[in-house]
Amino acid sequence: MTLGSIRHQIRIGRSADDVWARVRDAAGLHTWFPGLTDCQVDGNNRVIFLGSGMAMPEEILVNDDVQRRFQYRITAPIFRHHRGTIDVIELNDDECMVVYSTEADPRTMALTIGGGTAGALDELKRQMEEHH
Amino acid sequence: MGRKILFVTTDQQRYDAIGCNGGMVARTPVIDALAAQGYRYERAQPQSVVCMPSRSTMLTGQHVSTHGVWMNGVALPADAPSVAEVLHDAGYRTALIGKPHFEPFLDPFLRFTENRLSREPLSDGLTHRGFEHFEAATHGGQGMLHYARWLAANHPEAVGMFYPVLDGSLEVNALGGGETGAPQVWENAIPKEWYHTDWVADRTINWLDGLDADDDWFCWMSFPDPHHPWDPPKSELGRIDWRDVPLPDGYPQTAAEREAILDRKPRHWKAWYEGTLVSNYEAPADWVPATLTADHVREVNQRNAIECELIDEALGRVLAAIEARGWGDDVDIVFTTDHGEFQGDFGLLFKGPYHVEALMRLPLVWRPAPSSTPAPAAVTRPVGLVDLAPTFCAIAGLPVPDWMEGKPLPSSDADADARGFERSLTEWDSVLFGVAVHLRTITRDGWVCTTYQAGHSHDGTEGELYSLADDPLQRVNLWDDPAYAAVRDDLVADLWDHQPAMHQPLRRVEAPV
């Protein structure tokens, strides 16, 4: 088995619509994902720039305002498979749950990226609740 | 002017890897001489048998559950307590040169300070974990640490000479080499002068050269070897012929013997041996221990011993530099490692959730400053790496902070008895890709006792119990022997009486390693 599958989630004290507005902004990921320095979006293609200097090409697969789901895959050759999924789930009018899932083959990359996504959720919560 | 401290660590080195502990392969005259002048500990144990938790214990003086770095890939928070900070605040100049590993190495986002410091050096007056000077290295020539960047800048042709630690799937490589095809054995064409062992010594000497004569200083010189891969400079291979390397006592020489021994242990032992379960990222996922041959063991141990000799010689160069500065009488030297290595015991290599002597009995030598007129001694009572940070405070004449859980190392068995050195605790928790393994171990009164909590392969009733006097190779598991039930129950009760509770909330895994 070479597929790694990691899930992180966090409760945020803001409405699902408010949080989704940040998550759906594909060009703004680096503003709440620690370790990213920039994002460039061209249609369904996005390139993220990592703190280590690496540029990582991605394809945006889903940006669904109804389900509040954002999905993408890293297309760099080192990945045999990748799928990143961010779900914003309404809990009540002022609170939502954000779930950031990562599948990757090689599975080691799921662990490595997964640590980053957990940090991103922490930062998203901090920003959303601080600016409320 | 007080006593200065040179703290020397290696990575994944067995107790019997050095001559003063009975090692017969590597020649380690420098360490042996230090042991003869000071204290040699015969029962020094780690609080974890993997790098990041164990190193975090050295720095904080805390058990693993207290500092919360429960496995490789879990980062020690940047504001965690640090003995280096205590010493720096007391006026010591402080440096860490070599392998730190308090934060994950696999860090493409460059989220962790350790990995950024080669690009963003500490500004004047700032420290990281109490270290004002920080130059990092690990096992190869690639990556973001200072050594890799130095090698790429000065000797780019050598970067690719090291063993490829990760394979094409980014798993720890199982590729074999050398003359026997032993896993992680490699012929490294790098000149000795460019190898990380010499680099660590060179950079240490360079830092010491920049200090004022009357500075007090604490230098953690941290060699990445003899941790696998076993790829010392090829020029050094002639030191030892692998064919002459004796098989270790712990290596059962027939498959039937190996399997019979493993059948007496909790089931994850045999499952790893047969290649059906890997619970530690640093054990190559594609390597099956049952394929290990006697010649593999000989060649691994040859390369390992050569790496130990290179460390000993590098340490000798640093000690000569210290003498040349006129500091020799006022420097305490502490030599140890973070955890052990199987090196063929039970037919296994590397490490994992296996709390036996190969991984838990460590070399530890403390040569106090000669000006303190120490009485050399061999100390047999159990001590732990948790006792190092308090020892450094004591050397510096500072009170041991309340947050440290160890005690300054004893200078003799009598001193150990007077100050209550009775037990050592070791923990393991891992959840690699859903494989949960949880061990808690106590070493006391000549016994080593491990209790397993429920997980992937265990229902929580399993354990291991060995008499270190009667069964030094830990081959006969007495856990379920009714004749030893009282001993077992007493040890387990004592373990839980002293085992700190796990830090909450549980720190998360940030990367595989």
Q: Provide the CATH number for the domain around residue B123.
A: 3.40.720.10
Task: Provide mean pLDDT across the span B147-167.
Answer: 96
**Where residue B225 falls among pLDDT bands split at 50, 70, 90?**
very high
Q: What is the span of the domain harbouring residue A60?
A: 4-130
Count of domains for chain B: 1
Decide if A116 and B144 are in contact by the 8 Å CB cutoff. Answer: no
Task: Compute the distance between CA of residue B463 and CA of residue B440 in angstroms, rounded to an integer.
Answer: 9
**Where residue A132 falls among pLDDT bands split at 50, 70, 90?**
confident
Decide if pLDDT at B98 tops 90. Answer: yes
Residue B398 lies in a domain: yes
Decide if A107 and B433 are in contact by the 8 Å CB cutoff. Answer: yes
Calculated CA dihedral for residues B157, B162, B166, B172, nearest 10 degrees: -170
**Where residue B170 falls among pLDDT bands split at 50, 70, 90?**
confident
Task: Compute the distance between CA of residue B458 and CA of residue B455 in angstroms, rounded to an integer.
Answer: 5
Q: Report A:26-65 residues touching B (Cβ under 8 A).
A: 33-36, 50-52, 54
Count of domains for chain A: 1
Task: Provide mean pLDDT across the span B113-132.
Answer: 94
Decide if A111 and B109 are in contact by the 8 Å CB cutoff. Answer: no
Question: Per residue in A54-82, is it b (16+ CB within 10 Å) or e — as a string?
Answer: eebebeeeebeeeebbbbbbbeeeebebb
Residue B215 lies in a domain: yes
How close is the nearest chain B Cα to the Cα of A116, in Å?
7
Query: Within chain B, what is the greatest distance between any pair of CA atoms?
Result: 64
> What are the C-alpha distances in Å from B344 to residues B182, B237, B252, B321, B477?
11, 20, 8, 37, 19
What lies within 8 Å, CB to CB, of A76 at 6+ separation is: A56, A57
Task: Provide mean pLDDT across the span B10-37.
Answer: 98
| B115, B116, B508: residue with CB nearest A118 | B508
ipTM of the complex: 0.92
SS3 B322: helix
Residue B225 lies in a domain: yes
Is beta strand B423-432 parallel, antiparallel or unpaired with respect to B133-136? Answer: unpaired
Question: Do B362 and B44 touch, CB atoms closer than 8 A?
Answer: yes
Res B169: pLDDT: 86
Q: Report B:163-182 residues touching A (Cβ under 8 A).
A: 166, 169-171
Full-model pTM: 0.97
Residue B15 lies in a domain: yes
What lies within 8 Å, CB to CB, of B176 at 6+ separation is: B182, B183, B184, B185, B296
Residue percentage of chain B with pLDDT more than 90: 97
| pLDDT greater at residue B124 or residue B14 | B14
Q: What is the span of the domain harbouring residue B133?
A: 4-161+200-421
Spacing of C-alpha B327 from chain mean position: 28
A79-111: per-residue pLDDT in tens? 999 999 999 999 999 999 999 999 999 999 999
Res B1: pLDDT: 72
**Where residue A1 falls among pLDDT bands split at 50, 70, 90?**
low
Decide if B509 and A107 are in contact by the 8 Å CB cutoff. Answer: no
- Alpha carbons within 13 angstroms on the beta-carbon side of residue B128 total 24
Q: Provide, as residue numbers in chain B, all residues whose Cβ is less than 8 Å from the Cβ of A1.
A: 433
Res B481: pLDDT: 98
Q: CATH number, domain at A72?
A: 3.30.530.20
Res B112: pLDDT: 95
- Alpha carbons within 13 angstroms on the beta-carbon side of residue B233 total 17
Residue percentage of chain B with pLDDT more than 70: 100
SS3 B313: helix
Task: Provide mean pLDDT across the span B237-245.
Answer: 98
Whose CA is closest to B267, among B443, B512, B477, B485?
B477
Question: Do B392 and B87 touch, CB atoms closer than 8 A?
Answer: yes
Task: Provide mean pLDDT across the span B235-264.
Answer: 97
> What are the C-alpha distances in Å from A21 to residues A28, A33, A43, A120?
10, 15, 18, 16
A19-54: per-residue pLDDT in tens? 999 999 999 999 999 999 999 999 999 999 999 889
